[in-house]
Structure 1
Amino acid sequence: MTTPAELFTGLLREDAAAPRITCYDDLPGPTLGERIELSGRVLGNWVSKAANALQEEHDLEPGGLVRLEVAAHWRALYWALATWSVGGGVVLGAGVDGEEDEVLLVTDDPDRLRPGPAVLVTRGALARRAAAPVPDGVMDEAAELATFGDDFTAWMEPAGSDPALVTTGRRLDHGSLVAAAGAAHPLSAGARAQLVGPGTEELLLGCLAAWSVGGSVVAHLGSPQPDVVTRRAQDEGVTATLG
């Protein structure tokens, strides 16, 4: 059994400098046209800061839930990894019956904010504050995340049966999530796998599947033209497409 947090920690030990996620941003908005590549080390820095924020500011612990309402994007990826590092579960899609009051909201859409603790994510790589007003009790990620530590140690380890990914109609635990991702997306060792226009769930599972074989992901976010995808895939050395 390998948990998501153990998988990512293993990648950092194996080769922290290797690229693990490359994002071409075709999403409407100010980040349109961005290409960002993150090594394991750089991604791990973001994960540590977000995990410290979840643990220190929101007391998230194993069994706790985070509703992730962030477009498929590298920022969604590190918030998911941070949640798994703390031992919590990521909620995508429909609500969690009977548990809604216990779910911390992390969103990139100010219109989705509700009363109570939440995190507002700004997708722009160089943003230093949210463009929209941030209500009381909401963390402005762009302004505040940098204040948290670059090293993270979980206060408690999750049980294998604790929820890791909760989506409409299914719940995967920390002990089964990596294996489920690999079964859904079988890849050869060291694969450079691409995702075209993925949803957030597809991005998370695709990354776990690629990382489980020591590989990496090229994500085309949004709706790029097929010829653009083909050119990028050649430039990036893509060896597999996840669908």
Structure 2
Amino acid sequence: MNLTDALVRDPLTGGRAAEVDRPLLTYLDDATGERVDLTATELGSWAARAAGLLREGCGLGVGDRAAVLLPAHWQTAAVLLGAWSAGVAVSFQPRATAGLPRLGPGADGPFDAVFVSAERLDDWLEDVPEARHRYVLGLGAAPPREVPLGYLDWFAEVGRHTDALPASAPLTSTDAASPDGTSYREWGSVALAVAERLDLRAGDRLLVDVAEHEQPVYWLLAPLAVGASVVLCANLDPATLDARVAAEHVTRVL
């Protein structure tokens, strides 16, 4: 089972694939003016590069664990999908720092890889779990100004890999997708249940305020599971929400 295909091209349910010529994931930052539009194919390519970094660059695969200490962002989507495609179990926000949610409850370190944003690293330096491979992400239009000792620049490293998924042992729906043992199939069921609760359907376009919803089940897994697309908004200005909804053809707001 290729999870990138399962999530992006043929979502978790085995249902409708996303439209390849339209943005599947749009990232907007109202403070900087940054905009990134990714089709299903483009997001899948970034996920494949991320998988290549983990498998070929780090030698990781099924049975290994990654901690992802990142906010909702298009690069975070690539990291998560890449890790799952490589068979690496993911803990999202594994520590309850600042009350942030986590994917894979009870999943403390040690980890084989850790991903942390440059913006949060200063605040979290003492709380970043131990890992053999450490990556920092700038999550902006420019790379991080300074890469801390012991870390590598994820964006630079992932660019060394191709957009073809590396060869790996086949994944199954019962393999662990998070370090607490939750399987791909179980996360798929959770994603579908969340999509139903949000009344998300194929073709919907979901706008998400990233400051309010960092849990990837809401902004990544649930929409992709039913073939919906996502507009991630950072530093969202409430005064422009109605205009943004109209301009982006949004059908649901979270």
Report if TM-score (shorter chain) is over 0.5.
Answer: yes
Look up the SS of the partner of 1:71 in the other structure. coil
> Which letter does structure 2 place at the counterpart of 1:25?
D
* Residues in 2 aligned to 1:235 and 1:117: alpha-carbon distance in whole angstroms: 41
Q: Does 1:174 align with 2:184?
A: yes
- Counterpart of 1:104 in structure 2 is 113
Q: CA deviation at 1:229?
A: 1.7
* Residues in 2 aligned to 1:210 and 1:66: alpha-carbon distance in whole angstroms: 23
Q: CA deviation at 1:61?
A: 1.0
> Which letter does structure 1 place at the counterpart of 2:145?
A
Aligned partners of 1:5 and 1:84 also within 8 Å: no
Change in CA separation of 1:25 and 1:14 when aligned onto 2, cut-off 3 Å? closer
- Counterpart of 1:220 in structure 2 is 233
- Counterpart of 2:90 in structure 1 is 90
- Counterpart of 1:131 in structure 2 is 145
Q: CA deviation at 1:3?
A: 5.2
Deviating beyond 6 angstroms after TM superposition, the runs of 4 or more aligned structure 1 residues are none
- Counterpart of 1:76 in structure 2 is 76
Unaligned runs of 5+ in 1: none
After the TM superposition, which of the residue ranges 112-121 and 226-235 deviates more from structure 2? Answer: 112-121
- Counterpart of 2:194 in structure 1 is 184
Q: CA deviation at 1:154?
A: 4.2
Unaligned runs of 5+ in 2: 96-104
* Residues in 1 aligned to 2:4 and 2:222: alpha-carbon distance in whole angstroms: 10
Aligned partners of 1:65 and 1:89 also within 8 Å: yes
- Counterpart of 2:36 in structure 1 is 36
* Residues in 2 aligned to 1:44 and 1:19: alpha-carbon distance in whole angstroms: 12
Look up the SS of the partner of 1:8 in the other structure. helix
Aligned partners of 1:62 and 1:159 also within 8 Å: no
* Residues in 1 aligned to 2:247 and 2:107: alpha-carbon distance in whole angstroms: 48
Instruction: State TM-score, norm by structure 2.
Output: 0.78
Change in CA separation of 1:63 and 1:199 when aligned onto 2, cut-off 3 Å? farther
Change in CA separation of 1:206 and 1:68 when aligned onto 2, cut-off 3 Å? same
- Counterpart of 1:117 in structure 2 is 133
* Residues in 1 aligned to 2:224 and 2:52: alpha-carbon distance in whole angstroms: 23
Change in CA separation of 1:205 and 1:89 when aligned onto 2, cut-off 3 Å? farther
Instruction: State TM-score, norm by structure 1.
Output: 0.81
Change in CA separation of 1:106 and 1:5 when aligned onto 2, cut-off 3 Å? farther
Q: CA deviation at 1:212?
A: 2.1
Look up the SS of the partner of 1:151 in the other structure. coil
Q: Does 1:241 align with 2:250?
A: no
* Residues in 2 aligned to 1:213 and 1:93: alpha-carbon distance in whole angstroms: 25
> Which letter does structure 2 place at the counterpart of 1:176?
E
Q: CA deviation digits over 1:45-66, x for unaligned, max 9?
A: 2111111001112222123211
* Residues in 2 aligned to 1:77 and 1:198: alpha-carbon distance in whole angstroms: 17
Look up the SS of the partner of 1:159 in the other structure. coil
Q: CA deviation at 1:24?
A: 1.5
> Which letter does structure 1 place at the counterpart of 2:138?
T
Q: CA deviation digits over 1:14-60, x for unaligned, max 9?
A: 63222111112247xxxx33122111122122111111001112222
> Which letter does structure 2 place at the counterpart of 1:57?
G
Q: CA deviation at 1:235?
A: 0.6
Percent identity of paired positions between Structure 1 and Structure 2: 25
